[in-house]
Amino acid sequence: MTFLQQLINGIHVGSIYALIALGYTMVYGIIKLINFAHGDIIMMGAYITFVSLIMFNVPIWMAVIIAILICLISGILIERIAYKPLRNAPRISARITAIGVSLFIENLFFKIFGGNPRPFPVLIDPTPISLGSLQISMVTIVTIVVSILLMIALDLFVKKTKTGKAMRAVSEDHGAAQLMGINVNTTISITFAIGSMLAAVGGILYSTAYPQIDPFMGMMPGLKAFVAAVLGGIGIIPGAMLGGFIMGIAESFTKGYISSQLADAVVFGILILVLSLKPSGIFGKNVKEKV
Amino acid sequence: MIKAKKLISTILVGGILLSSLVGCSNAGSTSENAGNSNVIKIGGIAPLTGDVAVYGVAADNGVKLAIEEINANGGLLGKQIEYVVYDDKGDPTEAVNAFKKLTSNDKVEAIVGAVTSKPTLTVTPLAVKDGIPMITPTATALEVTSAGPNIFRACFIDPYQGEIMAKFAAEELKASKAAVIYNTADDYSVGVAEAFRDAAQNFGAQVVSFEGYNGDDKDFKAVLTNVKSQAPDVLFIPDYYTRVGLIAQQAKEVGITATLLGADGWDGVLGVNPEAVEGAYFCNHYSTDDTATEVQNFLKVYKEKYNEDPVSFAALGYDAMKILAAAIEKAGSTDKEAVVKALAETNVTSVTGTITFDENRNPVKDVSIIKIENGSNRLFTKMSL
């Protein structure tokens, strides 16, 4: 029973990692940029929900929608203002800009809200539901269900819709996509919007599970989600999902059966192992450099 | 990682700039009448600015309030007390500077300070060499008072809390199985947890689970799931209140029904997550709803003067000064050796209880056990070993 409970704990945190990892992987897929500011969108989502609930007393569903909308717009703005002018610059410039954007957002929120951690309001009653001797909290169920629904929706979107097709085309080849009449700028904006939206949801779910928010809270889940994306093969959507779940479950089992202090070591150890055996990640394709 | 490093360096540079600015403005409150023999000079060392200023200011407020009261009642040995305090910013080097200024320039008779453990530990060797009576209100590190026979403290030490909570769990709550989870990155948490584990056996409770977690973790479910499988009667979580809020919430989520226990780091948990800690017990230096006259008087005067409720640091600052004053009165002079001897024989009843010192100059006094009931702190009982 303890084993099953640990597995559920792992899937819970893993599904949050997977949601966030999707944003990293989509953005990387389309413009080959590691968007370091992605972790801070998580924090933004949590803070906006917090502010709408505490200061404006709006109902929960509205707070969630407001947070998603603001994060979505911020995602588009970040791309337009910070990354678009650098699209043809060397990749290192864009990467450094991404770090700058991340620091800017963190310190902006630090300035506005202060550095003290704040308690996040309880959105879902923590009392667990018993299934035999197994006890699962509503938070866990909601997190897993919401994450999986969003992942299915994203998969359908990318595979079945015209915009999804355009996204795949742009990620294959910018120039050719443009020649086929695809608006590359709009497609990239949509990718950032979707990624930020998932990060906002991830941020809200994360703060519901761990009800404490501070301006730097996005760093650790952001880093872990990034590792999850690399683990699964960066740029590949199912890879990010799988990577997220592997990370979460490995973390939970290490904490449960070995030692809390070793959790991060094991998780990053898996990354090193996978990358040394298959450098492009679990689902990664071996792409030869074009000459 | 790059982000973290960059951030840290930004903070460091900012910190250096700031501290160089602050350095100029803090000259302290030196007095002109250095040779005046109608006053008794007491020195203070406290972090009045910086990261831990909240604690320093509270403790200093407590000391000042005690001095005001003593002076209003005719002073000590017929003389008025003059209090000279320097800011150590929570920094060991600054604390040494403060100590040197107090002993060589101001020629104080005794010192109340420092407030946090690290600065106190750097000052104690100097104080031992000098022989000056020194009492720290709140430095909890075990080694503070073992430096020498003239160093005392007003607060109980970390292991003491662990032992008290073990006794409380076994004797008052009749717990037979206890679980402990602690923060491996924090000396305070480890110290209290180990003391609890070692003492529980003696009081007849079995420690069925003793697990550590990482300080910067937010997910404790895996550890808590293990705890749950042992079905303990009580779960002891000696950590600071922000993390306690998170842990308590997750304990509920994995279905732990054991009574939660904590230590003085829990003071403030009601502001974080009152629902999750409902029905829990923790120990503290004093309780605001203690009906003892000393406590109620202190609360009233403190609130009048500073317009806020005193935290335990304020109460301990107040008590440290009262203990020192009682010793000087008893010694009949400010002779260093006489005062140290009188301090060792202290028997004072003040805000945090009736205080005597053990052979290591740590206080032996009642610990207030507080129960969280209907979202507020209630004094449940007072205990000593």
pLDDT (tens digit per residue) in B234-259: 999 998 888 898 899 999 888 899 99
Question: What is the rounded average pLDDT of the residues B185-203?
Answer: 90
pLDDT for position B25: 42
B45 plus B121 within the same structural domain: yes
The partner residues of B86 in beta bridges, in order of sequence, read B45
Query: In this structure, is residue B18 part of a structural domain?
Result: no
Please tell me whether residues B151 and B165 are part of one structural domain: no
Residues of B in contact with A99 (CB under 8 A): 2-3, 6
Q: Are residues B253 and B187 in the same domain?
A: yes
Contacts of A223 in chain B (CB under 8 A): 1
Predicted local confidence at residue B214, as pLDDT: 85
Question: What is the residue whose two structure tokens read 């303990």?
Answer: B232
Of A9, A209, A212, the CB nearest to B222: A9
Residue B114: cis peptide before it, omega within 30 degrees of 0: yes
pLDDT band for B273, please (50, 70, 90 cuts). confident
- Per the model's pLDDT, the better-predicted residue between B370 and B10 turns out to be B370
Position B30 pLDDT exceeds 50: no
Domain end, chosen from B284, B313, B328, is at B284
- Please name the member of B219, B223, B275 whose beta carbon is closest to the beta carbon of A210: B219
Among B8, B180, B221, the strongest candidate for a mutation testing the A interface, having the largest count of A CBs within 10 A, is B221
Residues facing residue B151 across a β-bridge: B134
Q: When comparing pLDDT for B323 and A236, which is higher?
A: B323
Same domain assignment for residues B277 and B164? yes
Q: How many domains does chain B have?
A: 2
Yes or no, beta carbons of B222 and A252 under 8 Å apart: yes
Inter-chain residue contact B245 with A211, CB threshold 8 Å:
yes
Q: What is the pLDDT of residue A106?
A: 93
Residue B10 has pLDDT above 70, yes or no: no
Query: Which of A20-29, A31-40, A280-289 has the weakest average pLDDT?
Result: A280-289
Identify which has the larger pLDDT, B18 or B309.
B309
B55 confidence band (pLDDT: 50, 70, 90): confident
- Asked if pLDDT for residue B281 goes beyond 90, the answer is yes
| pLDDT digits 0-9 by tens, B287-314 | 888 888 989 999 999 999 999 888 889 9
What confidence tens digit (pLDDT) does each residue in B92-112 have? 999 999 999 999 999 999 999
Q: Which pLDDT band, with edges at 50, 70 and 90, does B4 fall under?
A: low
Percent of chain B with pLDDT over 90: 59
pLDDT for the residue B6: 59
Which value, in Å, is the radius of gyration of the alpha carbons in chain A?
A: 19
CATH code where residue B227 lies? 3.40.50.2300
Whether the predicted pLDDT of B51 surpasses 80:
no
The band of A291, judged by pLDDT with boundaries at 50, 70 and 90, is low
| Sign of the CA dihedral with B334 first, then B339, B340, and B343 last | negative
Q: Are B263 and B180 in contact (CB under 8 A)?
A: no
* B186, B214, B217, B219: best to mutate for the A interface, most A CBs within 10 A: B219
Percent of the residues in chain B that have a pLDDT greater than 70, as a whole number: 91
Query: Which chain B residues have a beta carbon less than 8 Å from that of A6?
Result: 222, 225
What b/e readout covers A76-114, taking b as 16+ CB neighbours within 10 angstroms? bebbeebbeebeeeeeeebbebbbebbbebbeebeeeee
Q: Which of A101, A127, A139, A210 to mutate to test the interface with B (most CBs of B within 10 A)?
A: A210
B128-132, B170-174, B271-275, B353-357, range with the lowest pLDDT: B271-275
pLDDT at residue B80 greater than cutoff 90: yes
Q: Is residue B15 part of a domain?
A: no
How confident is residue B14, by pLDDT bands cut at 50, 70 and 90? Answer: low
If you measure CA to CA, which chain B residue comes closest to A99? B3
The pLDDT tens digits of the residues spanning B106-144 come to 999 999 989 988 899 999 999 999 999 999 999 888 889
Token code pair at residue A192:
């950032």
Domain boundaries, position B105: 34-156+293-365
Same domain membership, residue B151 and residue B250 = no
Say how many C-beta atoms besides its own lie within 10 A of residue B118's C-beta. 16
Q: What is residue B299's predicted lDDT score, i.e. its pLDDT?
A: 93
Tokens (6 digits) for A232: 């699964």
Residues B228 and B330 both lie in one domain: no
- What confidence category does residue B38 fall into, taking pLDDT thresholds of 50, 70 and 90? confident
Within a domain: B375: no
Instruction: Give the confidence band of B79 by pLDDT, cuts at 50, 70, 90.
Output: very high
pLDDT of residue B36: 55
Q: How confident is the model at residue B13 (pLDDT cuts 50, 70, 90)?
A: low
The answer to the question of residue B113 being in a domain is: yes
Q: Which of B258, B284, B310 is the last residue of a domain?
A: B284
Q: Does B226 touch chain A (CB under 8 A)?
A: yes
pTM for this prediction: 0.77
| 3 state SS for chain A | CHHHHHHHHHHHHHHHHHHHHHHHHHHHHHHCCCCCCHHHHHHHHHHHHHHHHHCCCCCHHHHHHHHHHHHHHHHHHHHHHHHHHHCCCCHHHHHHHHHHHHHHHHHHHHHHHCCCCEECCCCCCCCEEEECCEEEEHHHHHHHHHHHHHHHHHHHHHHHCHHHHHHHHHHHCHHHHHHCCCCHHHHHHHHHHHHHHHHHHHHHHHHHHCCEECCCCCHHHHHHHHHHHHHHCCCCHHHHHHHHHHHHHHHHHHHHHHCHHHHHHHHHHHHHHHHHHCCCCCCCCCCCCCC
Closest-CA residue of chain A to B249:
A126
B92 in the same domain as B172: no
Residue of A nearest to B212 (CA): A260
Q: Is the pLDDT of residue B7 over 80?
A: no
Asked which of B5-14, B137-146, B324-333, B340-349 is least confident by mean pLDDT, the reply is: B5-14
Nearest to B217 among A216, A259, A260 (CB): A260
* Mean local confidence (pLDDT), A209-225: 90
A169/chain B closest Cα distance in angstroms: 32
Is pLDDT of B383 > 80? yes
Q: How confident is the model at residue B31 (pLDDT cuts 50, 70, 90)?
A: very low
Nearest residue in B to A249, CA atom: B222
Kindly state the DSSP code that residue B207 receives in the 8-state scheme: E
Is B104 found in the same domain as B133? yes
A242 pLDDT more than 90: yes
pLDDT band for A204, please (50, 70, 90 cuts): very high
Q: Examine the fold and report which residue of B284, B311, B343 is the final residue of a domain before the chain moves on.
A: B284
Residue B16: predicted pLDDT: 54
